[in-house]
Amino acid sequence: MAELLASGGSLEMVRTAFENGADAVYVGAKGWSRRRAQYEMDDPGIVEAARYARSVGKILRVAFNTLPASAEVPLFLARTDALYAEGVRDFILTDPGLMMALKNRHPDTILHASVGCTIINVQDAFFYKEAGASQIVAECRMGMETMRKIRREAGVGLEVLVHATTCFTLLGRCTMSSYTKHEHRVDAAGKDHFPGSPNRGGLCYRICLTEWDQVGAGGEVEAEGITLPNPAFFLVDDIPDLIDLGVDTIKIQGREYSVALVGEMVRFYRELIDACVRDRSSFRIEPWKERMARIAAERDAERREKTAGLIGESLTSP
Amino acid sequence: MQPFELIVSVACPGELSGTDLSPYDAVCLGSPYCRRVDGNYAEALDLLAGTVTRLHGMGKKAYVSTPATPREADLPHVGRLVDAAAAAGADALEIHNMGVLRILREKGGPVPAHMGAYANVYTHLAAGVMRDAGAVRVRPNAEVALEEMGTIALEGRVEVEILVHGKIPLGVADGCFLLTEPEETDPKCPKACREEHWLASRDWVLKTVGKGVLSGRDMCMLEHLPRLARGGFRVFRVEGLYESADYRSEIGAVYREALSSVFAGGEFRVEGRWGDVVRRHAPKGLCNGYYFGAAGRKYVGSVLQDGNSGV
């Protein structure tokens, strides 16, 4: 049965996700994951979360899925060595060079290729498998046919995001935020958090979500106050198909949301998946949609507030 | 042996036509953004052999771009493109997608690979993985600073290409932002992306080319060319996609003259007429912040910054 993977932006969120039915939880190593520092965890917190996961027979994955500077590679190796020594074996990475380095150093680690890898075809899946990944995250708009092909041919696990904030462009291939504002904040360990770059440090100012005017060559306004298409998605209809397809992991993104909301989302998907698996032939999706709509409304309210804050932050100097 | 290589990118015969290629040592053919660009060299395979031969006849190298975001359904075409580029005698394939790199490797690497702007090369380790898969050159992601690029070249043991002038690629999407109907039926396709469209909000300006988001300002490294040369960089690009023939011709001429001066040694100064040309072709201004660790839209320098009318 597909594993349900949930987000862990704090120790409290990790516990809540497990208590509500997650099979696995991912957390971000501070300075190294695709979210800002407040939603990441330091090493003692990660170690405690990993112990808790083991104590309840579940899995904790640690995301090191930013794209660092070359000079930071020794920091990465030291930090993953330390977590490895504490029993952490499951990591989420983006940089294929880091994948190979970690796999060579610790062959028994389990590496998943992050959504930041922008895996959009079966050959991409093969590439990251050869770099050391045993599972890949499908790009957010990947169609079922491609997923099926990856499952059939690539010999890697397949992970699909069912709840995520995506991007106007392909996730992992966008630098619009850092074009407008990009800073350097080096922490005590020597890691640059690259505020403004989601690829490098996680903090994205989401400028794609502000209102834009489309202007022609002569300065004429062609369209006023438009938004770039970038909805946060919340899949329900696709869940039975994903289960039928045999995806290995169904992932709920959302470290930046409240603990209560994440708990609610995890519980929703846990019950939905279990109901679907228990009696596939008579399973009907319609009753679940109403419940999902209520959760989505809560999610959207939190998202709007955070987005407004981020865009405001992007307007401050430098 | 040439002391440096200056490359220009052109998507299609419409862009090649009227462009003075004399400043350039190499031309990168094709648009990585959209397969529907009219005459896209990465799509119109029947055009490749003749164009490559023509460029070789002019003493120039010919590189061929590949789609930046090939979905599964695009891969058969990518396979044919690799074969066609090899048969045409192209000097390299520009690759943005790891699956495409793997296809090239599986075919035995008939053409060297140059990793493009969307390949997300940030570290020397990633560059090394790509090198082992057939890449001989990488263009690091736009966010990577010059200092980091030096490490990538040295430790990754690959040649590094630097965008010295033009719009910075900021994002690539599946769907065309400029269309309202599916691209197969929208009468605005493929004309819409040949027109000029900007996105403006607050004091930010971006350029949209439908499936691509580019910087509004033009990357300009003119005053920093001596630093690039001292850093060991030898491969430079002028981004010519979605620009006019005059842009490609005149910007190329400026950089040819400036780079020749730098690599000849001696004192270097930015000529006033160079400044006039780059400013005339940059209606939204100049930038280069990424290379110096700042926001991409910032300009770092003491000669061509906004408001300096002395040059």
pLDDT digits 0-9 by tens, B230-289: 999 999 999 999 999 999 999 999 999 999 999 999 899 999 999 999 999 999 999 999
Mean pLDDT by 10 residues, chain A (318 residues): 95 98 97 91 97 98 97 98 98 98 98 97 98 96 95 97 84 94 93 95 87 95 89 81 95 92 96 94 90 87 82 75
* CA end-to-end distance (rounded Å), chain A: 49
Nearest to B63 by CA among B277, B240, B201: B240
pLDDT digits 0-9 by tens, B89-135: 999 999 999 999 999 999 999 999 999 999 999 999 999 999 999 99
Report if residue B263 sits inside a domain: yes
CB contact under 8 A, B125 and A315: no
Residue B310 — very low, low, confident or very high, per pLDDT cuts 50/70/90? low
Residues of B in contact with A146 (CB under 8 A): 71-72
Residues of B in contact with A222 (CB under 8 A): 197
Nearest residue on chain A to B105, alpha-carbon basis: A127
Say which of B123, B142, B170 has its CB closest to residue A95.
B123
Predicted-assembly ipTM surpassing the 0.90 threshold: yes
Report if residue B308 sits inside a domain: no
The rounded distance, in Å, linking the Cα atoms of A26 and A7 is: 5
Report if residue B216 sits inside a domain: yes
Tokens of B91: 């000097």
Residues of A in contact with B167 (CB under 8 A): none
**Per-residue pLDDT at B309:** 60
Residues of B in contact with A69 (CB under 8 A): 122-123, 144-145, 148, 151
CB contact under 8 A, A213 and B201: yes
Q: Specify the CATH number for the domain of residue B117.
A: 3.20.20.70
CB contact under 8 A, A67 and B102: no
**Per-residue pLDDT at A313:** 81
CB contact under 8 A, A173 and B151: no
CB contact under 8 A, A178 and B296: yes
CB contact under 8 A, A95 and B125: yes
Report if residue B187 sits inside a domain: yes
Q: What angle do CA A19, A21, A27 make, to 5 degrees?
A: 75
With contact defined as beta carbons under 8 Å apart, do B122 and A68 qualify? yes
Domain hosting residue B176, numbered range = 5-292
Residue B276: partners with Cβ closer than 8 Å, 6 or more residues away: none
Nearest residue on chain B to A223, alpha-carbon basis: B199
The rounded distance, in Å, linking the Cα atoms of B188 and B192 is: 5
Nearest residue on chain B to A192, alpha-carbon basis: B293
Q: Is the pTM of this model over 0.90?
A: yes
Mind telling me how many Å the CA of A12 is from chain B's nearest CA?
A: 33
Residues of B in contact with A181 (CB under 8 A): 295
Residue A57: partners with Cβ closer than 8 Å, 6 or more residues away: none
| Angstrom distances, CA of residue A205 to CA of A174, A177, A179, A308, B267 | 12, 6, 10, 9, 42
Report if residue B305 sits inside a domain: no
Indicate the number of domains in chain B.
Answer: 1
Residues of A in contact with B196 (CB under 8 A): 216-217
Nearest residue on chain A to B173, alpha-carbon basis: A169
Residue B311 — very low, low, confident or very high, per pLDDT cuts 50/70/90? low
CB contact under 8 A, B125 and A73: yes
The chain-wide mean pLDDT, for chain B, equals 96
Indicate the number of domains in chain A.
Answer: 1
Report if residue B309 sits inside a domain: no
CB contact under 8 A, A126 and B70: no
Q: Specify the CATH number for the domain of residue A16.
A: 3.20.20.70
Report if residue B136 sits inside a domain: yes
Nearest residue on chain B to A154, alpha-carbon basis: B99
Report the residue of B66, B123, B205 to disrupt the A interface, i.e. the one with the largest count of A CBs within 10 Å.
B123
The rounded distance, in Å, linking the Cα atoms of B38 and B59 is: 26
Alpha helix positions (H), chain A: 11-19, 43-55, 73-85, 96-105, 122-130, 144-149, 176-180, 239-245, 259-278, 286-314
Domain hosting residue A236, numbered range = 3-314
**Per-residue pLDDT at A164:** 78
CB contact under 8 A, B171 and A315: no
Report if residue B307 sits inside a domain: no
